[in-house]
Chain A
Amino acid sequence: MIRALALLLALALPAAAQEVIVAGMSQNRVSITADFDGSEILIYGAVKRDAPPPSGGPLEVIVTVEGPSTPVAVRRKDRVAGIWINNASVHIDSAPSFYAVATTGPLDHILSDIDNLRYGITIERMIRAIGIADEADQAGEFVLALLRVRTNEGRYRVLEGKVELTEDTLFRTDVVLPANLTEGEYKVRLFLLRDKRVIASQERVIGVRKEGLERFIFNLAQQQPLIYGLLSLAMAAFAGWGASAAFRLIRT
């Protein structure tokens, strides 16, 4: 609702009509196959203008890639009776499984707080943690911990200055998707900014799906768990029998 309103406002601004993004991606689907080891996606584009570029601040570009969001539980270990155990926990309504922000410059120099709030650009804006203050002391620490843990896992990335902008018209950036990828639709958003304000934006989607054998095994495990369990069992029994038979053959 807020975002739709914001978009309406943005469209109403005269500047928005002057500069438009034309974007493309090296691929719009990622297949997780058995040998999947992460993937690099090239996101590129150009700025289309009807008139010469407006005067004012320099043009800046922000590209975000957002994986499917899920609720998460963040737990803190405390020392209880000499051992470290999970003690306090906080339930966060929604956090993206992957999030990358690539920019042409430092975020606090090119993006105003208001537009960050309006469009939800930085990672902090993407984490929905309402009402966690009641769940534990220092609930804010849990959100910071979520950011830290997922950054260390390569799931959250801030790539400041990693968007190359040529002659205020052409831009490109590479976003690396890690090997521990979650399935789903990955939303790619592109923003043009001047004077810390968003003047144009666009959205694209990358579909990430398990394929081939991975797809087959995953579906079977989810949809036919009993058959899957029995099949795993049969495979193990057969392998055990096969091994002892094979080595008996070798010995004789």
Chain B
Amino acid sequence: MAKTYQTYYVPEQSPWPIVGAIALFLLAFGAGHFVNEVTRNKEGHGEYMLLAGVALLVFMLVGWFRNVIDESMGGLYSAQMDRSFRQGMSWFIFSEVMFFAAFFGALFYARMIAMPWLDGESNNAMTAEILWPDFSAHWPMTKTPGGIETTAMPWQGLPLYNTLILLTSSVTLQFAHVALEQGKRLQLRLMLLLTILLGASFLGLQAYEYMHAYQDLNLRLDSGIYGNTFFLLTGFHGLHVTLGALFLAIIWLRIMLKNHFTAHNHFAFQAAAWYWHFVDVVWLCLFVFVYVL
């Protein structure tokens, strides 16, 4: 706690939160119908509601962040306010960690417990013999107990390059951060741009890998537990890389167009950087547990 206590800025009334709530309503309600329409061939217009929700959410985010940026540039924020933002962002990242933990937990359980049991381990000998006589446990599970066959994605090659790309991007981002703190604006601009480009190339390669999986390896979302965990873990990770790259791109635009952020006042940059490093760490866990082991 600060010894000297400045006046804490409590914003005036704001229309953005309720706009955001309506956006989430449209998103959830639209998605709830859209999912049924695409998978069950139902009649309906969930997609329009979904798109309206996305549009409204983007509109809300732009408006809300514009307010926040104006307040910040107007000098309304104090060091204490900055701490609120930093702590808020840290806890948000912790919640993201727990979200990925659910899927990693599913992966570990399926692999270490469910799969051996399906093959008769523990006290499941009769289950295996009567229900799944042709199943033998090995990971990656290229043949499920029900008989779906697929091919495992090797870690050599594309996934390895992607690992190097993402690790490099964390380093370039760190250089950008140091440059910001030392006031080297040109280096900041270049390094941040390089980070975003590395992130984009990661996503491009990931998309290529997905096509390769579907077309050449017969590795699909519905290819049993290996495909399930592969696509949901890498998919949610890819989604987070996309959001992180967008976040960094907005920071880059603010630097290029408005010359925002100083050596001492750059919470948004910091938050985007934290997010990016977090996404990087998730990838490392993914690379080890989904691809290599």
A binds B: no
Contacts from A to B (Cβ < 8 Å) = none
